[in-house]
A = this chain, B = another copy of it.
Amino acid sequence: MRNLRQGRPARVTISDVGAAAGVSASTVSRVLNGTAKVDPALAARVHDAVRQLGYRPNAAAQGLARGEWGTIGVLVPNLANPYFPDVLKAVSAVARSHGRRVMVMESNDDPSIEHDLVEDLMRSCDGVLLCSSRMERSELALLTARDHPLVLLDRIVSGIAAPAVSADFFGGMMLICGHLAQLGHRRVAYLSGPEVSWANSERIRALEAARAFGIAVTILPCGSTSRSGYDAAAEVTGTGATALTTYNDLVALGAVTRLRELGVKVPEELSVVGFDDIALDHVAHTSLTTVSVPRGRLGRLATEMLETLMTEGHSAEPTYLSMELHVRDSTAPPATG
């Protein structure tokens, strides 16, 4: 039994193809990869043999021989948040155009296993794209220290020697504050995302900077899901806020649902603003005022940076992608009186 434990049928190897075509394995390799000139007649025989035997090169063997896997890995916290599939689509497309496969892992919002997952990805991918705004700084440092191509997505950390690309969360929240200030709001509440999240702290930093607009902010602990928004929304009414900002659209939509149930009119009595602009076209109950980041561009850029890093060994500066304000139906001037 020359092949596998489970008595699986023998795989057809490159030598089998060579034998069938009457050439050496090296020639088959050259034909298939186009790495050297081969007599057209031989090449034709090789192609025939490949077809007839249904040969497919073994990716592990190729990876080992070439010193690269032809794969990039992506770690996302939660696929249930539409934000990430949107990014992933772009990542896949770019990776594919560079002839690479994409390996996706999800931490299910549990930062404690993310380190392991990334290690795992590094063992089997040429480069990894890390979307983790929650991983501890020290663990991040450990990971980036492993001279393995790594690009941070939606997290920019000074002093961490890894290329990074992120939406400009600070700027996005500033846009929101400007919009609210202009409408006349003075007291706003914020349903905060995960405490340890960098993305969240950037939003908070902006809210604090917005005091300059004459805005006073109350921060309420919440989370990142519609469920948590729904649960936390009741607290808002006690704060005296006339506008509610949130960690993301899911939270905002959950909050709106709860507020409606509580008889609070949105936006007449309370303006609500989302974050991210996830495309729930025609699904969400509310046309939400929010800020958007071009997620496609984000994914594309990050993947290109990773590709550069992998092939040239260095990459560009950390890059912020600016967000854009979309004023829709969930914001209005505060009720007068």
Contact = CB atoms under 8 A, between A and B. Distances in A.
Nearest to A231: B282
A147 B8 contact: yes
A4 B311 CA distance: 11
A297 interface: no
Contact of A281 (B5, B106, B227, B282): B227
Interface residues of A, number: 63
Interface string A249-290: 010011001100000000000000000000111111110000
Given A7-B313, A80-B86, A313-B7, A284 B282 contact: no
B64 A61 contact: yes
Interface of A: 3-9, 54, 56-61, 63-64, 67-69, 71, 79-80, 82, 85-86, 88-89, 92, 101-106, 108, 119-120, 122-124, 146-147, 226-227, 229-230, 250, 253-254, 257-258, 279-286, 310-313
A2 to B, nearest CB: 10
A134 to B, nearest CB: 18
A101 B18 CA distance: 33
A24 B9 CA distance: 33
Given A3-B67, A5-B67, A82-B80, A282 B311 contact: no
Contacts of A310: 6
Given A6-B310, A64-B64, A80-B86, A56 B281 contact: no
Contacts of A282: 226-227, 229-230, 253-254, 257-258
A20 to B, nearest CB: 17
Nearest to A101: B120
For the complex of A and B, list the 5 residue pairs with the smallest distance between their C-beta atoms, beginning with the closest.
Answer: A285-B285, A60-B63, A79-B85, A59-B124, A104-B104
